[in-house]
Structure 1
Amino acid sequence: MCLSCRCPSILCTFCAPEQKAREYHNMASEAQSPSVAAAAETASDLNHLLRPLHWTAVMPHPRGSATSLICYRLYTVGVLALNLSFFVSTVIVLYSEGTADLDVFTLTLSVADTNGTWLFRMAHTFVCERAFHKLSHQVGDDFAEFLTWDDIPMLRAQCRVMRRFTLTYIWFGIIACAYYLVSPVSAEGLPFILALPIDAMQPVGFAVTWLYCTVVTLHAVVMTMVLDSFNVSLISQLRVQLTLLNKKIVSLAREMSERTENSSETTDHAELHYRLEKCILHHQAIIKNADLLESSLAGMLLAQSMSIGASTCFQMFQLATRTNGMQQTGKSGSYLIAMLAELFVYCYFGDDLINESENVALAAYDAVTSLQECPLSIKRSLLLLMHRAQRPLRITAGGFFPLSRESFVSVVNVSYSFFAILRNFKNEGE
């Protein structure tokens, strides 16, 4: 009697492929060494970004001690209070000075906009903390079972390139902040125009205030770039998984085509069905993590896109209207480039994710011709994979528009349009 469906035969025709697929699954599970998962997790390690985020109270380390969480929360509250006091100081300047001096108004407004967005991002990171912790280990926890030793070299190479890119991006932010901090704009010689409770004209008051500006600026700008690097690294990990999946589908179709040409070789449909099932499960795991990342980033990316669009408009206005030396021009220019870079990294890697997910659909479509002689169950599985892959994975800004290279150009165009209106408004006032 068949143990699967209780029919009289020892192994009926209906259950034989399924039973053989289980045997292949068991053999593959035994051959899958735990060291493959360890190698994948080591290659995709994000500790170079998680540690700075932990030290600066932006996000606790996912493997941090639970006993020290209360102290860490108190530390986070202190850092938030420091940034909030800076934001309130710039708002007071906006309220007291008004629009009498349009240059001072736009400069202070852009600083308040950037600092306010950072406060929002810290609050958003706290709300989505569990999701970010899960995604930080997605390669080892969710994708390791689909990886083989042949995939590890490619995974290591891609992660190495990504690590170099993010470190370069962060160092660019540090250099931009350093240049901005040594370029005074206020009467006291400070890099910002602030409402202060102390006299910054005195040496001690100036030193304390400048240190205060430095800490807040580095925390708001550099840690924004570190958090951006963490987010785009998660996007890049999903893209790499799509690349590996695409390669497996192409390899599966090529092998099937070679077996079809060689009619003397017996085609093992159970093995083929098992490998295709692994591809489908791999694709589903990628979709699940992409949806989690999208839900975690959508609101934040919408707020950041709007903030960067406004800051870009204000800084272009500063560059076009201020004529008090190269130092101030460089200050506004460094601010403008930093803001555009923060948006561009999301659009660049978001566009790569869209393209790679579309390639999966193309690979599945190309595999159809190689699977004409396969059973109907295999064709249906391939059809389901191809149908779902036709809807590309993407990261959106609040669901309004996907983060892509075209979106980046659109945001810059809108910022330029508002800049033109603002400049005409000033010319008419003169």
Structure 2
Amino acid sequence: METPFSWSSSGRSILKLNIRHLWLYGVWPLGSFPLFELYVIFVFALGVWNFVEASVSVSFSWRDLEATTLVLTNTFTLFSGTVKLAFFTRDRRLYNSLVRRVDSLMLVQSEPCSRDPVLEKIVQRSRRQAARLTLGMLLFMASQGLIWFPMPLIAHPGERRLPFAQHLWDNNTAFYKLSYTLQCVTSLWMAEISFGLDCLFASIMILVAAQLEVLALRITKLKAADGGADGGRRSLSTFSIAHEKMYSDLCLCIESHQQILRFVRHLNDTMSPIAMTQFVFSVLVACVALFQATYGSDITGVIRCISFLPIPGGQVYLYCWAAHQVTEQAAAVSSAAYSCSWVDASEDFKRVLRILISRVQKPLILTAGHLYPINREAFLSLVNASYTYYALLGQMNKRPTN
């Protein structure tokens, strides 16, 4: 399961788009190439350089809250990508295992899906949804460069302004073109890495939710195996065979359910630190971006922050929406158990069904940092936290300076 992917093997994975996107930006190695490790070091260097440059810039503009928050809007976003890259590099084998388990999970219910067009449609829909979500979010993130990168040249021609952190120690006079290029490249690179990992986990959760939905429908349709309506007119042998088939199908459903639960535990262990990192930085980014959009005196900075505000919110919502789907579909398995034709089923069937119902009573919840539940309520609480910090910054900005 932990065997690294090659370019050809990644093409056979259901998460091909996610893997190859992360490979392109120096995160996911495909094959054993020593030069790729140098590429990873280069990407880390970009992230560290951005953090150092921003820290120096903030030290010069510390008393100017507007200038400081404008720098931090970009810095928090890119530092989040750097931290995520560090987590991924530390646990590469865990990520290889995760994706291979996803591919295996999609085969668990392939046989019943191949016999039922409704179930097959659910699986195909989830695959399309995951791919479209990934492509759409990554393109949306890249489109921010069209707003942020050329803005200083358009709004302040001849003033030698930089897109993000200004070099106040020399008024942007030294290596201006190089600094401008590095800021643009670093911003695009680290933001794509951050979003790429978010889309990877969101895609996996979409696929898991679909597998739970398929499982719930399989359990509901167990009534089709029951001969309750005409059981009296059947021979005892035929009636017994029908109930044995129903019991056997339920056992297969429970086996599929157990495999899905094992995978979700593995997913939670892998995703937890990345999700926690994103939650923390999204709250900070939304706070400073909202402050800039409200109190900024530079109209170009206001426009940039307004266009950027959906980014941190979207990253958090990706996790909360997708994880909530998993929780809802897991709860639907319990409803499906009540909906099947259990009244006239055999005692063995009823006994096993009770065990299944008892198991699914425990909510299937993914967490950030193994502490914070990921669901729609978490999204609202994080939005409230961002607004609270924004209000605090607003109060600090209104205080008279001595």
Instruction: Specify if TM > 0.5.
Output: yes
Tell me the amino acid that sits aligned with residue 239 of structure 1. A
Gap runs ≥5 in structure 2:
1-9
Cα 1:130–1:198 shift into 2, 3 Å: farther
Aligned 8 A contact 1:177 1:221 in 2: no
Q: How many residues align?
A: 377
Match of 1:170 among 128, 138, 155: 138
Partners of 2:21 and 2:220 lie apart in 1 by 40
Provide, for residues 324-382 of structure 1, a one-character-per-residue CA deviation record: whole Å limited to 9, x for no partner: 22x32210112221111111111111111111111011111233xx2234333322221
Tell me the amino acid that sits aligned with residue 395 of structure 1. L
Match of 1:48 among 17, 21, 26: 17
Partners of 1:154 and 1:287 lie apart in 2 by 19
Is 1:328 aligned to 2:285, yes or no?
A: no
Q: After TM superposition, give the deviation of residue 189 of structure 1 in Å.
A: 1.6
Tell me the residue number matched to 1:400.
371
Partners of 1:226 and 1:283 lie apart in 2 by 29
Gap runs ≥5 in structure 1:
1-40
Tell me the residue number matched to 1:92.
56
Cα 1:164–1:315 shift into 2, 3 Å: same
Tell me the residue number matched to 2:164.
192
Is 1:287 aligned to 2:261, yes or no?
A: yes
Tell me the residue number matched to 1:128.
91
Is 1:318 aligned to 2:292, yes or no?
A: yes
SS where residue 77 of structure 1 aligns?
helix
Moved more, 216-225 or 282-291: 216-225
Q: After TM superposition, give the deviation of residue 82 of structure 1 in Å.
A: 1.7
Q: After TM superposition, give the deviation of residue 237 of structure 1 in Å.
A: 0.9
CA RMSD of aligned residues (A): 2.4
Partners of 1:97 and 1:207 lie apart in 2 by 22
Partners of 1:81 and 1:139 lie apart in 2 by 32
Partners of 2:13 and 2:328 lie apart in 1 by 21
Q: After TM superposition, give the deviation of residue 219 of structure 1 in Å.
A: 0.9
- TM-score normalised by the chain length of structure 2: 0.87
Aligned 8 A contact 1:308 1:340 in 2: yes
Cα 1:375–1:134 shift into 2, 3 Å: same
Provide, for residues 374-414 of structure 1, a one-character-per-residue CA deviation record: whole Å limited to 9, x for no partner: 33332222112111112222221223332222211111111
SS where residue 423 of structure 1 aligns?
helix
Partners of 1:288 and 1:406 lie apart in 2 by 25
Q: After TM superposition, give the deviation of residue 279 of structure 1 in Å.
A: 0.5
Aligned 8 A contact 2:130 2:202 in 1: no
Aligned 8 A contact 1:146 1:278 in 2: no
Tell me the amino acid that sits aligned with residue 183 of structure 1. M
Partners of 1:311 and 1:199 lie apart in 2 by 26
Aligned 8 A contact 1:235 1:349 in 2: yes
Tell me the amino acid that sits aligned with residue 110 of structure 2. L
Aligned 8 A contact 1:124 1:300 in 2: yes
Is 1:385 aligned to 2:351, yes or no?
A: no
Partners of 2:345 and 2:107 lie apart in 1 by 29
**Which aligned pairs between 1:403-422 and structure 2 lie closer than 5 A?**
403-422=374-393
Tell me the residue number matched to 2:317.
344
Partners of 2:365 and 2:343 lie apart in 1 by 32
Match of 1:59 among 21, 25, 28: 28
Tell me the amino acid that sits aligned with residue 401 of structure 1. Y
Is 1:144 aligned to 2:107, yes or no?
A: yes
Identity %: 23
Q: After TM superposition, give the deviation of residue 179 of structure 1 in Å.
A: 0.9
Moved more, 419-428 or 265-274: 265-274
SS where residue 261 of structure 1 aligns?
coil
Match of 2:220 among 225, 239, 250: 250
Partners of 1:43 and 1:374 lie apart in 2 by 42
Is 1:236 aligned to 2:206, yes or no?
A: yes
Partners of 1:222 and 1:400 lie apart in 2 by 27
SS where residue 341 of structure 1 aligns?
helix
Q: After TM superposition, give the deviation of residue 254 of structure 1 in Å.
A: 4.3
Tell me the amino acid that sits aligned with residue 97 of structure 1. S
SS where residue 260 of structure 1 aligns?
coil
Tell me the residue number matched to 1:28.
none
Match of 2:122 among 154, 171, 190: 154
Provide, for residues 189-211 of structure 1, a one-character-per-residue CA deviation record: whole Å limited to 9, x for no partner: 21012459998537xx3332222
Provide, for residues 141-199 of structure 1, a one-character-per-residue CA deviation record: whole Å limited to 9, x for no partner: 23414322134343122211321222111111111132111222996321012459998
Partners of 1:57 and 1:139 lie apart in 2 by 22
Higher gyration radius (CA): 1
Match of 1:365 among 335, 338, 358: 338
Provide, for residues 37-86 of structure 1, a one-character-per-residue CA deviation record: whole Å limited to 9, x for no partner: xxxx99972211211201211122xxx323x2x32222211210121111
Tell me the residue number matched to 1:6.
none
Cα 1:331–1:420 shift into 2, 3 Å: same
Is 1:72 aligned to 2:36, yes or no?
A: yes
Match of 2:181 among 211, 232, 238: 211
Cα 1:402–1:44 shift into 2, 3 Å: farther
Partners of 1:44 and 1:386 lie apart in 2 by 33
Tell me the residue number matched to 1:181.
149
Aligned 8 A contact 1:180 1:334 in 2: no
Cα 1:277–1:59 shift into 2, 3 Å: same
